[in-house]
Amino acid sequence: MKNIWQSVLLLSVLAILALFALGLHNDPHEIPSPLVNRPAPDFATQALDGQPIRLADYRGKWVLLNFWGSWCVSCVAEHPYLMELARNTRQRSDFVIVGVDFKDTEQGAAQFLARHGNPGYRHAFDPGQKIAIDWGVYGAPESYLIDPTGMIRLKQTGPLYPGWFEKMALPLIQATPPSHQGESR
């Protein structure tokens, strides 16, 4: 009887230590997003090209929403991949990339795109980061993958990396039947 209690005590102490060791590897800067698998918050604002832009207009397609700013260093690192991804997915009718340039100036954004290359897709302009806060963004870059029905399916905190689309997005896109995708078009 006594031995049982001793091993129970030992096991619980070990379990607590194991949890503690696991917790030490958590990044306190990374906040898990509760928005995944929730309907995407819509926005309607001005785009960097001066025309109005509305997220709901892309309903029916998979949308990669990329939050960035010309002040963001990691966005420079991410940019070549976004250029490549935009080039490679240009033919897809079911996938589109939309940028949100937040906490930025129009000149800053223009300079960034002139210097690092313009991937060709549209960017919502969000100087007061109202959209960013509405999307639970706390850093840059952050990206969301939204499915054709307008549900958020994935969040990437930090830069997208080469192979991200094939590894993270494509399995989701392929797992969703195309008939379902066309529903809300």
- 139 is a site residue for other proteins (CB under 8 A): yes
Which of 112, 125, 135, 164 contacts other proteins by CB under 8 A?
135
Which CB atom, from 60 or from 136, has the smaller least distance to other proteins?
Answer: 136
Which of 103, 151, 154, 181 contacts other proteins by CB under 8 A?
103
DSSP E strands: which ranges in 24-149? 44-46, 52-54, 62-68, 95-102, 122-126, 142-146
**Residue 40-79 contact track with other proteins, rule CB under 8 A, x = bound:** ----------------------------------------
18 SS3 class = helix
Which CB atom, from 40 or from 86, has the smaller least distance to other proteins?
Answer: 40
- 150 is a site residue for other proteins (CB under 8 A): no
Contact 154, 145 (CB under 8 A): yes
Measured from the CB of residue 133, what is the shortest distance to other proteins in angstroms?
5
Which CB atom, from 11 or from 31, has the smaller least distance to other proteins?
Answer: 31
Q: Taking Cα atoms as reference points, which of 120, 126, 92 lies closest to residue 142?
A: 126
The site for other proteins, by CB under 8 A, has a size of 18
3-state helix, strand, coil in the chain (%, to 5): 40, 20, 35
Residue type, 5: W
Measured from the CB of residue 144, what is the shortest distance to other proteins in angstroms?
12
Which CB atom, from 12 or from 88, has the smaller least distance to other proteins?
Answer: 12
- 32 is a site residue for other proteins (CB under 8 A): yes
Q: What is the signed CA dihedral for 123, 110, 107, 57, rounded to 10 degrees?
A: -10
Q: Taking Cα atoms as reference points, which of 145, 84, 146, 140 lies closest to residue 116?
A: 84
Which H or E run contains 5?
helix 2-24
Which of 60, 108, 136, 150 contacts other proteins by CB under 8 A?
136
Which residues of the shown chain bind other proteins in the complex (CB under 8 A)? Answer: 28-29, 31-35, 38, 103, 128-130, 133-136, 138-139
